[in-house]
């Protein structure tokens, strides 16, 4: 069974984008707003972390959603946008893990009232997986062997395998 890495990356980005956007959006309203305020205050983070956390989650979610819904229009820039959003999400989940581990932050103000950082570490792992799978294909492998049509031969096109330094024969190119 062959797994299409591009489809997995697309769907993972869609899931992460939707979830993170909603987490940030919900923090604009009570009781999530008050819970997040207590998390920031009791963890010892500076006051601007409150606004930066909400804006970061909404912005990262929109970037991931944008890279999914505008993937054809963004073309090659899509990978950079997705990678930047995943890196941003990884940083936010590291901060969230720090907040979960602070003894002054009560479990009652954490998501699902879970004190161990299960949720942040899960999202951190998913973002790292998406970051790894969202990388553009290796140009050395895609340029190694390109078939070039040289014209019809007995009504079927002949294929000439171009030889690049990475690829000396068609058999070696197939292994790439």
Domain ranges (residues) in the chain: 5-136, 140-175
Cβ neighbours of residue 158 closer than 8 Å, sequence gap 6 or more: 149, 150, 151, 152
Residue 139 exposure: Cα atoms within 13 Å on the Cβ side: 1
Give percent helix, percent strand, percent coil of the chain, each to the nearest 5.
70, 10, 25
pTM, to two decimals: 0.70
pLDDT at 106: 87
The confidence score (pLDDT) of residue 157 equals: 43
Average pLDDT, consecutive stretches of 10 residues, N- to C-terminus, the chain (176 residues): 70 89 91 88 87 92 86 75 88 91 86 86 89 65 50 46 47 53
Asked if residues 104 and 43 have their Cβ atoms less than 8 Å apart, the reply is yes
Percent of the chain with pLDDT over 90: 22
């Amino acid at each position: 069974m062959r797994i299409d890495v591009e489809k997995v990356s697309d769907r993972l980005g869609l899931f992460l984008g939707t979830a993170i956007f909603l987490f940030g959006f919900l923090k604009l309203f009570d009781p999530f707003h008050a819970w997040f305020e207590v998390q920031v205050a009791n963890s010892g983070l500076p006051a601007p972390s409150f606004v930066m956390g909400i804006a970061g989650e909404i912005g990262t979610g929109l970037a991931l959603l944008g890279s999914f819904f505008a993937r054809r229009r963004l073309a090659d820039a899509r990978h950079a946008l997705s990678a930047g959003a995943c890196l941003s999400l990884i940083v936010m989940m590291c901060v969230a893990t720090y907040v979960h581990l602070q003894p002054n932050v009560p479990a009652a103000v954490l998501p699902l009232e879970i004190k161990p950082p299960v949720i942040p570490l899960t999202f951190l792992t998913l973002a790292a997986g998406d970051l790894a799978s969202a990388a553009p294909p290796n140009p050395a492998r895609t340029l190694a062997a390109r078939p070039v049509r040289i014209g019809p031969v007995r009504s079927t096109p002949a294929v000439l395998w171009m030889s690049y330094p990475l690829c000396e024969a068609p058999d070696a190119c197939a292994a790439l």
